[in-house]
Structure 1
Amino acid sequence: MTKTVDYSSIDARTPIVVGVGQAGERIDDADYRALSPIDLAVAAAEAAIADTGADPRSVIAAIDTVACTRQFENSTPMAPAPLGKSTKFPLSVSNRLGAAPRRAVLEVAGGQSPQHLLNEFVDTIHAAAAEVVLLAGAEAISTIRHLTGSDAAPDFGDDPADPDDRYEDRGFGLAGLTTMEQAAHGLVSAPAQYALLENARRAARGESREKYTAAMGALFAPFTEVAATNPLSAAPERHSAEELVTVTERNRMIADPYPRFLVARDQVNQGAAVVLMSVGAARRLGIDERKWVFLHGRADLRERNLLERADFGTAPAAVAAVRHALAVAGLDIDRINFFDFYSCFPIAVSNITEPLGLSPDDPRGLTVTGGLPFFGGAGNNYSMHAIAEAVPRVRAEPGSYALVSANGGVLSKTSVGIYSTTPAELRRDDSAALQREIDALDSPSHVAHPDGWATIETYTVVHGRGGLRTGIVIGRLEDGDGRFLAQVAPEDDALLELLETAEQPIGQRVHVTALGYGNRLTGTAETARELFAKGAPALRENYEFVKVRRDGHLLEVTINRPEARNSLHPPAHEELDSVFDAFFADRDLWVAIITGEGAQAFCAGNDLVYGAGGKQVYIPLNGFAGLTSRKNMTKPVIAAVNGFAMGGGFEIALACHLVVADETAKFALSEVKVGLVAGAGGAIRLPRSVPPKVATELILTGRRIGAQEARELGVVNRVAPPGAAMTAARALADEILTGSPTSVRLSLALMEQTQGIADTVEAVTAPNDVIDELMTSADAIEGMVAFAMKRTPQWKNR
């Protein structure tokens, strides 16, 4: 006998789920319509509205908020949209649906976003800041891939007007999830990142490759059973545990230990939506109480960034989020009837289920959809489908509970919800306090440019098309235990073979070398020397992008790319770096001048055209032009600025000891004009060179200053007539060359050693070895003797 529930005492502000809907199609369906993401989201929203059982027109008219997940084509700054995209997706959905919300929200990227939005907007409804909220999202990745370049390619673009400024784009939300360092080492795909965690988990458990691989198959085999019966599944096929992990042509290796069947399937056309509203609105709209589903427990937690984690084999924040949601609901795990654990990769499930005591063959099952590799990984919107599957199940069994755990990033963000038809007032969670505890945990030191012997902490080998293999390793230096990221040197076949075949590569001793384009790992130091030896610093006879002229003790270096306004790309950087290595190593070279070929530009900064062409962009470890990050610049370098010194060009000048400019010269840190920052030293050096407020203005506006203003500010030492910067720079160099090169070098060293000491007297009296070295030098004796004899000194630079 069904127990009668009294709904009359429930607070009218209590938020409830009253409608869920899904939509989808496969390109081989007989009725395939090539629906856009907007089409799919609208279809799902219409289904969710119909699911309420109320008059659809009344529900649509009552919607005051629409919040949507991001699509793949707007989840990263450089994501392609070959068929076009909506510029304001929530408004596109609203307009197509016929809704007129007061607020439209596009959430940050991440698989946690559907559950996170629901957790957020139940609070918004409870606070009476909204009454009826539509959550929606969709992906048409399969259709976009299928139709791109074809004659039948549709236009999925939409640019809805927003005169009332009701649209809120929360940005990509990728901070801490993707970095330039990771990109430089090929660690950009989700399979590669999760594989690092999976291999660390296997090592921590002490399991063989065979045993661990079999366990991954056993975990996901029941998921395929659920997917096979779900009409919206992208891959409705049953697979045995063995089939899932056996590498075949169809089930190729993606990133060790993942073959394709264990990887989230993003080639889907799927949409899902949820209608939330207050109990008061549900009563007003006449929604049957049997449709009401309450949120009993919830949590939102974030794991630390990837390289900051103490242990790669676990993500405790995800487990803590599930446990906290259960505690908020006042339930233990045995009271949950239905589960959906985000299943982009096996570790996303096992990381949570194992600590909770749930086995892969739990009779309740671990998914209600079929999971991301089989039902489909509908981008950021997968867990909206999980909610849409969970709600009908708890309605069908009044008093039952469903738990949805959504994951974003690399086990980075977890949002959890517990659903039931059992009436309950909204309960507050204490995720913020738990987050503070997670954030306070110790973190290993991170070394961006490691060199020396190390051990492997975790690893993967990424398999590309055509047999290309890329080994990616996170390791620990033997000296200091600092953590680093590196790529296996592609020439080191033995190390790649070890990663793929050794029973346990983790803990193996390896050697890492820091290079401008990234850190490279080899099995031995000998291999590193063979592959990366630079040889003794020396000037070459010929350069492609640089001109070099030696005139006695003076070295003149000319950036020789006038067709590109002397902007720099990696090959030019490498040449300049090697030239300055040679300059600082050569005892007979005492002063250097750097300038640009032609009258148009000294250097226009980075070669943005080169980078836009998809080629790898990097600078040497010594910085822009081999100068801006170089330590121990103990010989004077003069910038002879002719024409434009923009962005990185200005940063080169700021890194030089002295600057001579002709009257036509223009200086600017123009990075803000192209969406960049002056990260090669400009944003640091300029405020130390000119009044801070002036520097701030120049950095934030990108304003150009001329030679005279630059001189007044103290950035430029001398201004020369048009076209005479090099002549003036040579004259300045000649003045320096009349002095002792030893004195010049040690004077620079003394200034460098004491510049960080704020108190003048402390700086003057601080211990240093400069005076001792000077007084025992041959040049000091020669200088005093020459003075006494009233002759010109003969400097030896020793």
Structure 2
Amino acid sequence: MTSLDHRTPVLVGVGQASERIDDPGYRGLSAVELAAAAARDALADTGADPGAVAKAVDTVAGIRQFEISTPISHSPLGRSDNFPRSVANRIGAAPARAVLEVTGGQSPQHLVTELAGTIAAGGAEVALITGAEAISTVRHLQQADDKPDFTEHVDGDLEDRGFGLKGLANRQMLAHGLIEPTSQYALFDNARRARLGLSREAYALAMGELFAPFTKVAAANPHAAAPVERDARELATPSERNRPIADPYTRFLVAREQVNQGAAVLMMSVGAARRLGVPEEKWVFLHGHADLEEQPLLEREDLSGSPAAVLAVRHALEVAGIGVGDLATLDLYSCFPIAVFAVCDGLGLAPDDPRGLTVTGGLPFFGGPGNNYSTHAIAETVVRLRARPGAFGSVGANGGMLSKYSAGVYSTTPAPWRPSRSAELQAELDARPAVPTTVHPDGWATLETYTVQHATGTAVVVGRLDDGRRFLASTKDEETIGRLLEGEPIGGKIHVRSFGFGNRVTLTAERMDELFPPRAPGFRDDYEHVLVRRDGHLLEVTINRPDSRNSLHPPANAELAEVFDAYFADPDLWVAIITGAGDKAFSAGNDLVYSASGKPMWVPKTGFGGLTSRESLPKPVIAAVNGFALGGGCEIALACHLVVADESAQFGLPEVRVGLVAAAGGLVRLPRAVPPKVANDVILTGRRLSAAEAESYGLVSRVAPAGQALTVAREVAAAILEGSPTAVRTSLRIMAEADAIADTVEAVRYPSPALDELLVSQDAFEGPAAFAQKRKPVWRNR
């Protein structure tokens, strides 16, 4: 090995720690303590002086725990605010650099690859990667009277890379209950079953046959959370202990997160290894590697596989200069069957490959310690390869929804650092055409895949409209769910209808009408959250939630949408005014108290207040702004044709101050309504505009004396009602058409059909006739 560059990266130490709550020596260790125990073992595993090695560590990279992996995660027993340095302090290390990696099961292998490259480039000499989960302990002790406090405050810099969740979740997934991995992966396995043409029973047995050998490995692993060997039929058959979770999965077939496990990997340059006295028989080299990402879930052409994962493994082997047949050991990420099947399908591996597909026992049986599983897989691979000098082993690490895949190939055979072509391959993957999607699907469609969540009695489906657009939907309809749970529903027809609260599917249009009877536009006798008053051809709508400053929650939004549907459909109503009850606020926007309660948040398809997302407002709507018009309240005003503001009124979009954005039209309409720099000021700082300032920019039509906004708005409405309602509607339509035409002359010349319709209207004849006869016109609105 004397010819190796002194900066060549090499793995020199690995360690694992674990405890089960029913163990005689159970200590109730925190995640930091488990990681530190694993790190101490890794230091000792080097065969050198552990203290000297610890002092040489210049980089510590921590795997993010589940309890800090998403914005809504929490730590019932507390946590360290600098996990890597908490571990470093316990082992006597004082690294110059501390990293907290992004969320995802790919992170251990990704960090090995990244830090190997850093070492090879001279940016580091000795790096420790460590992670742990104490999920079982937290669950066990959080209700205890003497529960421990795992809170730690640690000084020192931390390179916190954030959650890294971009592309892994969106509003559609949240709206349809597709937020936890079990349901997400179930979609993939059901799609694969349909592609292979297997019956439910045959596919369940295939999943059992895949994982039965995993249980045998887990049974022999002292760190396994469930060291019990099971046969294929036991794994595939529902029972009291093996309950159905999300079709096609039962409990034994999904990752086991209730674990207490930690693992660590120590890397360094060859030069550092020699200086610190690490014996060469401890050295394991990273021969090949790749890091690739898949398209967002709904954009993937094939939901039954993972081209990115397969390509990552292939490329890692290519960089190593070997083939899959040259591997002595494999560990394929196994959170769910499809994660293993997808790679096997792509590489031509048999599920019962005699080499085995796991070195630990896999996530359902060894355990799924959050994002840290593959650190254990790497540790086990290193131990096995040391026992078989010259052999090769691979680790596949998966994150997200088959979204991020990092692959590594290892051997004791000396090898220089070799860069990969991951960036080039990623560009090729990114260039693949994306499946077109739609947020609001309606009509007949074909079922692509689905799952049924047994705890909630909800089915989540992915379908394609006849025009090829893909959508996400859900249903609680027992008739539809019954069909999904028998035979092969994939490829069959379903009926979908979109609502503000989400998309729903049934087997027939008739069933959809039974569950969601179509409602003709019209007014109710009374409403809970709004007041409605008709005065001839004028409609007055009052948001009636003064105790919450007329902020809107889903029920209030739904009522406003219904009211404005009725207004636009009623030929006897020609002008509408919207205002807020009381004198404090027109509307303070979204009801943040309701949002914080955890109740489902949604807005009608027609938008906030039933106005902001309408394709058109064909009849005049006047906002009478009394007091605050903030957030969604300001967006309602922006959507209206005219704004009459009380002199004390204030307008603003403060969303950025609460971590949100003005997504109900504010980011679009405000820059079109006021000078761009003013819009930027209001949007980016949350600054409020007074009524006078808003009028100076043209945001407000008229400013009314204090307490007179509604009175002046009625005066404006009366002036509009003096004109022909047909001409008013035609004017609004032509102005809207002109907005879409950039060139002024082209816009003027545009032959609007609305003008032709106006010229043959009764009102178009009545106006000139009344003028000639010197009488007041009698408008017919036709």
Task: Name 1:697's counterpart in structure 2.
Answer: 681
The CA deviation string for residues 608-629 of structure 1, in whole angstroms up to 9 with x for no partner, is 1111111001000000010000
Q: Secondary structure at the match of 1:317?
A: helix
Deviation at 1:227, TM superposition (A): 0.2
Task: Name 1:4's counterpart in structure 2.
Answer: none
Looking at structure 2, the residues matched to 314 and 362 of structure 1 have their Cα atoms a distance apart, in angstroms, of 19
Q: Secondary structure at the match of 1:337?
A: strand
Letter of the structure 2 residue corresponding to residue 290 of structure 1: E
Q: 1:474 aligns with which of 462, 476, 479?
A: 462
Q: 2:534 aligns with which of 522, 527, 550?
A: 550
Deviating more after overlay: 644-653 vs 533-542 = 533-542
Letter of the structure 1 residue corresponding to residue 768 of structure 2: M
Looking at structure 2, the residues matched to 439 and 668 of structure 1 have their Cα atoms a distance apart, in angstroms, of 39
Letter of the structure 2 residue corresponding to residue 311 of structure 1: D
2:466 is aligned with 1:486: no
Task: Name 1:104's counterpart in structure 2.
Answer: 98
2:721 is aligned with 1:746: no
Deviation at 1:445, TM superposition (A): 0.8
Q: Secondary structure at the match of 2:119?
A: helix
Deviation at 1:82, TM superposition (A): 1.0
The alignment's TM-score, normalised by the length of structure 2, stands at 0.99
- Please say if residues 222 and 360 of structure 1, whose CA atoms lie closer than 8 Å, have aligned partners that are also in contact: no
Task: Name 1:128's counterpart in structure 2.
Answer: 122
Task: Name 2:759's counterpart in structure 1.
Answer: 775
2:38 is aligned with 1:44: yes
Q: Secondary structure at the match of 2:485?
A: helix
**For residues 360-439 of structure 1, what are the structure 2 equivalents within 5 Å?**
360-439=351-430
Deviation at 1:396, TM superposition (A): 0.9
Looking at structure 1, the residues matched to 750 and 53 of structure 2 have their Cα atoms a distance apart, in angstroms, of 76
Looking at structure 2, the residues matched to 715 and 533 of structure 1 have their Cα atoms a distance apart, in angstroms, of 40
Q: 1:243 aligns with which of 222, 234, 251?
A: 234
| Unaligned segments of structure 1, at least 5 residues | 1-6
Looking at structure 2, the residues matched to 360 and 528 of structure 1 have their Cα atoms a distance apart, in angstroms, of 42
Task: Name 2:55's counterpart in structure 1.
Answer: 61
Looking at structure 1, the residues matched to 529 and 258 of structure 2 have their Cα atoms a distance apart, in angstroms, of 45
Q: 2:447 aligns with which of 446, 456, 462?
A: 456
Deviation at 1:443, TM superposition (A): 1.8
The CA deviation string for residues 150-190 of structure 1, in whole angstroms up to 9 with x for no partner, is 2121111122123xxx3111111111111111011011111
Deviation at 1:392, TM superposition (A): 0.8
- Please say if residues 38 and 89 of structure 1, whose CA atoms lie closer than 8 Å, have aligned partners that are also in contact: yes
Looking at structure 1, the residues matched to 151 and 717 of structure 2 have their Cα atoms a distance apart, in angstroms, of 60
2:246 is aligned with 1:252: no
The CA deviation string for residues 96-140 of structure 1, in whole angstroms up to 9 with x for no partner, is 333211111111100000000111111111111111111011101
Task: Name 1:528's counterpart in structure 2.
Answer: 512
Looking at structure 1, the residues matched to 559 and 352 of structure 2 have their Cα atoms a distance apart, in angstroms, of 61
Q: Secondary structure at the match of 2:484?
A: helix
**For residues 257-276 of structure 1, what are the structure 2 equivalents within 5 Å?**
257-276=248-267
Letter of the structure 1 residue corresponding to residue 472 of structure 2: L
Aligned residue pair count: 782
Letter of the structure 1 residue corresponding to residue 469 of structure 2: G
Q: 2:558 aligns with which of 567, 571, 574?
A: 574
The alignment's TM-score, normalised by the length of structure 1, stands at 0.97
- Please say if residues 588 and 631 of structure 2, whose CA atoms lie closer than 8 Å, have aligned partners that are also in contact: yes
**For residues 17-28 of structure 1, what are the structure 2 equivalents within 5 Å?**
17-28=11-22
Looking at structure 2, the residues matched to 88 and 561 of structure 1 have their Cα atoms a distance apart, in angstroms, of 44
Task: Name 1:339's counterpart in structure 2.
Answer: 330
Looking at structure 2, the residues matched to 632 and 530 of structure 1 have their Cα atoms a distance apart, in angstroms, of 30
2:658 is aligned with 1:674: yes
**For residues 500-511 of structure 1, what are the structure 2 equivalents within 5 Å?**
500-501=485-486, 503-511=487-495
- Please say if residues 111 and 379 of structure 1, whose CA atoms lie closer than 8 Å, have aligned partners that are also in contact: yes
- Please say if residues 463 and 470 of structure 1, whose CA atoms lie closer than 8 Å, have aligned partners that are also in contact: yes
Task: Name 1:91's counterpart in structure 2.
Answer: 85
Looking at structure 2, the residues matched to 38 and 513 of structure 1 have their Cα atoms a distance apart, in angstroms, of 49
Deviation at 1:360, TM superposition (A): 2.5
Q: 1:787 aligns with which of 744, 747, 771?
A: 771
Looking at structure 1, the residues matched to 738 and 352 of structure 2 have their Cα atoms a distance apart, in angstroms, of 67
Deviation at 1:436, TM superposition (A): 1.0
Task: Name 1:655's counterpart in structure 2.
Answer: 639
Task: Name 1:496's counterpart in structure 2.
Answer: 481
Letter of the structure 1 residue corresponding to residue 192 of structure 2: R
Identical columns (%): 63
Letter of the structure 2 residue corresponding to residue 727 of structure 1: T
Deviation at 1:675, TM superposition (A): 0.4
The CA deviation string for residues 556-608 of structure 1, in whole angstroms up to 9 with x for no partner, is 11100111111000000010000000000001111111111111111011111
Looking at structure 2, the residues matched to 721 and 149 of structure 1 have their Cα atoms a distance apart, in angstroms, of 59
Looking at structure 2, the residues matched to 733 and 375 of structure 1 have their Cα atoms a distance apart, in angstroms, of 71
Letter of the structure 1 residue corresponding to residue 705 of structure 2: P
Looking at structure 2, the residues matched to 665 and 84 of structure 1 have their Cα atoms a distance apart, in angstroms, of 45
2:719 is aligned with 1:732: no
Looking at structure 1, the residues matched to 88 and 169 of structure 2 have their Cα atoms a distance apart, in angstroms, of 32
Q: Secondary structure at the match of 1:19?
A: strand
Task: Name 1:231's counterpart in structure 2.
Answer: 222
- Please say if residues 307 and 346 of structure 2, whose CA atoms lie closer than 8 Å, have aligned partners that are also in contact: no
- Please say if residues 236 and 375 of structure 1, whose CA atoms lie closer than 8 Å, have aligned partners that are also in contact: yes
Task: Name 1:3's counterpart in structure 2.
Answer: none
The CA deviation string for residues 477-496 of structure 1, in whole angstroms up to 9 with x for no partner, is 12x121000002x2x22211
Looking at structure 2, the residues matched to 530 and 494 of structure 1 have their Cα atoms a distance apart, in angstroms, of 12
